[in-house]
Each structure stands twice: as C-alpha cells, then as structure tokens.
Amino acid sequence: MRAMGTTLEALLFQLERELQGSTTRLDAVRLSQLLADDFVEFGVSGNVWGSKAQVIAGLRDEVFSERLMTEFALNLLSNGVALVTYRCHREGVGDSLRSSVWREEEGQWRMVFHQGTPAAAL
C-alpha cells in the first residue's frame, strides 16, 4: 500500500527530520524516545549498530553535517508498521538512499530499523 499526503506521512517526515538534527542527535533522552528498544542500523559507512545504546553512544562523537531529504515516500507494511524511503544529501559528504522501518508502540512511533546506502549523485 502507498499513502501520499497523509498525516502519518507528515508525522514520519517530521520525525526523520528531527533525528537528522544536531540537537536531537546529542539528546540521549529524546533519542531513547524515538528509537525502539530493538533498533538496528546498517550505516552508509558499512558499519552495523546492533542496539539503541550503540547508536546513542556513537552520536556523541559524530562530526555533524546538515542533511537534506528529497524523494520522501511512505509505504504502510501493516497496521502500525511503516517503511519510509528517501534520498539524503549531506553537505560535504554526498548522497545516500535511506530507508527506515517505524512501528507504533503505545501511541508513539519509534524507529525499529534504518539503512543508508551510498547513491550516485543526481
């Protein structure tokens, strides 16, 4: 199923943007709210972060660069589970293709999985 222009799409777009911001990336409490306890990430670098704790710890040492999302799309996988995909441009780094799986838990959407894949420049 594909949903465009929905309030869920707008919400998940906003949550993805929040996770890309420098303020949120340095806020362990907010990250704990946005990432599911069983979160896993396959990074664009090829690194795998197998837990929420690893991601939160790793972001403390990140050299931040602004990100721009384009081509954002939402696909509902089942009730309370959504896949979002988009192209991400990082200043000074380049483009990547991104995908995130979000799950609704007790009324809050949390990211369960994220993957970044290097992309050719447009």
Specify the CATH number for the domain of residue 83: 3.10.450.50
Residue 95 lies in a domain: yes
Give SS3 for 46: coil
Q: What domain range is 102 assigned to?
A: 7-118
In a domain, 1, yes or no: no
Predicted pLDDT at 93: 82
Q: Collect all residues with Cβ–Cβ distance below 8 Å to 15 and sequence separation of at least 6.
A: 34, 102, 109, 111
Residue 2 lies inside a defined structural domain of this protein: no
Q: Please tell me the total count of domains within the chain.
A: 1
Mean pLDDT (whole number) for 14-25: 94
Question: Is residue 85 scored above 90 in pLDDT?
Answer: yes
pLDDT of 3 over the 90 cut: no
Q: pLDDT value at position 86?
A: 97
pLDDT at 58: 85
Higher-pLDDT residue of 108 and 91 is 108
Given a cut of 90, whether residue 45 has pLDDT beyond it is: no
Q: Is residue 39 in a domain?
A: yes
Furthest-apart CA atoms within the chain: distance in Å: 40
